[in-house]
Amino acid sequence: MNKEKVKCLIIGSGPAGYTAAIYASRSNLNPILLEGMQPGGQLTITTEIENYPGYPDGITGTEMMQDLRRQSERVGADIRTDIVNKVSLKEYPFIAETDSGKVYEAESIIISTGASAKWLGLESETKYRGMGVSACATCDGFFYKNQEVAVVGGGDTACEEATFLSNICSKVYLIVRRDELRASQIMRDRVMKNPKIEVLWNHKPIEVLGDKQGVNGVMLENTKTGDLKQITVTGFFLAIGHHPNSDMFKGVIDTDANGYIITKNGTTHTNIPGVFAAGDVQDSNYRQAITAAGSGCKAAMDAERFLISRD
Ligand code: NDP
């Protein structure tokens, strides 16, 4: 068996994982970071990041993640492209098995697996995924140049995606299930002032319509009256939030009702000593790049202290 011992294993990239790797490397923990399914995490599929301190002109998520990755490698982190598929946290050292067949014996683990986009759960949504249905306007918006599209959701992501698409598409419907947006004031204002965005209040999609070519419309239901309304669009973008990637740790690591890992008293400690959690997988509240990076730093410091306490 392809076994390897490691002091600090970081599962998942993104601002939390990379920052944990920077701090753990500089504390001589010789961390190995396994990048997972989406190297760089969710920020690689966002647009411009304007609110991360230190970038007065903004920066794209992809560039920021490349910089963080480079920085963690420069200080000594061992970054590997691999996916953890099984962990045993009841024995010590902890065991993590990966898709490539590696088995890691880890003295400490930092979970920074992030969160993934939610889907509505409609059969037609699955049918047309990749044929007009997408959860990432930044990735796929380009394909809908001068076409009419719809975005579902009323949060910051939905507003951001609708605004982004309005620069590419001829018209953007924003489908909101209530009569108000959850998004921050600045994002709400941007949407309301944008002549290319039409907000459809109190509506929810009940079916994505299409043919062999892909999506050609969406059937909506009025959430107040039950009336049906059909819109003609070729792109259908979901922006209805995220769920934490904590399934692998279910039953062993304590989570809240929505699956977010519970960390103790402002630290990154989980219920298992030596296992720490950072970033969106443990944060249902702030979910920002800067807060994720901050918690990655805390996780590496907590891991270092844990390891010292065992020496
Ligand atoms: P949110 O959870 O904030 O919003 C999700 C939206 O989707 C809500 O409007 C919700 O409606 C709606 N929704 C959820 N489920 C359904 C459903 N089944 N059908 C229809 N609508 C649905 O998620 P976001 O991804 O927008 O934001 C997550 C976090 O990231 C927030 O803290 C946000 O502030 C932050 N963020 C910040 C950005 C920035 O600062 N530039 C950019 C993007 C995100 P309802 O309101 O009725 O619950």
**Tens digit of each residue's pLDDT, the chain (311 residues):** 699 999 999 999 999 999 999 999 999 999 999 998 888 887 876 667 888 999 999 998 899 999 999 999 999 999 999 999 999 999 999 999 999 999 999 999 999 999 988 999 999 999 998 899 998 887 789 899 999 999 999 999 899 999 999 999 999 999 999 999 999 999 999 999 999 999 999 999 999 999 999 999 999 999 999 999 999 999 999 999 889 999 999 999 999 999 999 999 999 999 999 999 999 999 988 888 999 999 999 999 999 999 999 98
CB atoms under 10 Å from CB of 213, counted, come to 9
* β pairing state of 2-11 and 32-34: parallel
CA–CA gap between residue 90 and residue 34 (Å, rounded): 21
**What is the Cα–Cα distance from 236 to 208, expressed in whole angstroms?**
8
Q: Are strands 102-111 and 94-98 parallel, antiparallel or unpaired?
A: antiparallel
Q: Among 299, 247, 256, 249, which residue's Cα sits nearest to residue 89?
A: 249
123-238 and 3-117+242-310 share a CATH fold: yes
Mutate to test the pocket of ligand 1, among 240, 260, 285, 290 (most ligand atoms within 8 A of CB): 240
Positions marked active-site: 136, 139-140
Q: To test the ligand 1 pocket, which listed residue (42, 118, 157, 174) has its Cβ within 8 A of the most ligand atoms?
A: 157
Rounded to whole angstroms, the Cα distance separating 197 from 148 reads 10
Answer yes or no: are the C-beta atoms of 239 and 116 closer than 8 Å: no
Distance 269 CA to ligand 1 centre (A): 27
Distance 68 CA to ligand 1 centre (A): 26
Spans of all domains in the chain = 3-117+242-310, 123-238
CATH number of this structure's domain 3-117+242-310, picked from the four choices 3.40.50.2000, 3.50.50.60, 3.40.50.10470, 3.40.190.80:
3.50.50.60
Q: Whole-model pTM? A: 0.79
**Residue 190 beta carbon below 6 angstroms from any ligand 1 atom:** no
Task: Tell me how far the alpha carbon of residue 102 lies from the centroid of ligand 1, in angstroms.
Answer: 37
Kindly state the greatest CA–CA separation across the chain.
67
CATH 3.10.20.340 holds for 123-238: no
- Cβ(243)–Cβ(115) under 8 Å? yes
252, burial (CB in 10 Å: exposed 0-12, middle 13-18, buried 19+): middle
The C-alpha atoms of residue 79 and residue 82 are separated, in whole angstroms, by: 9
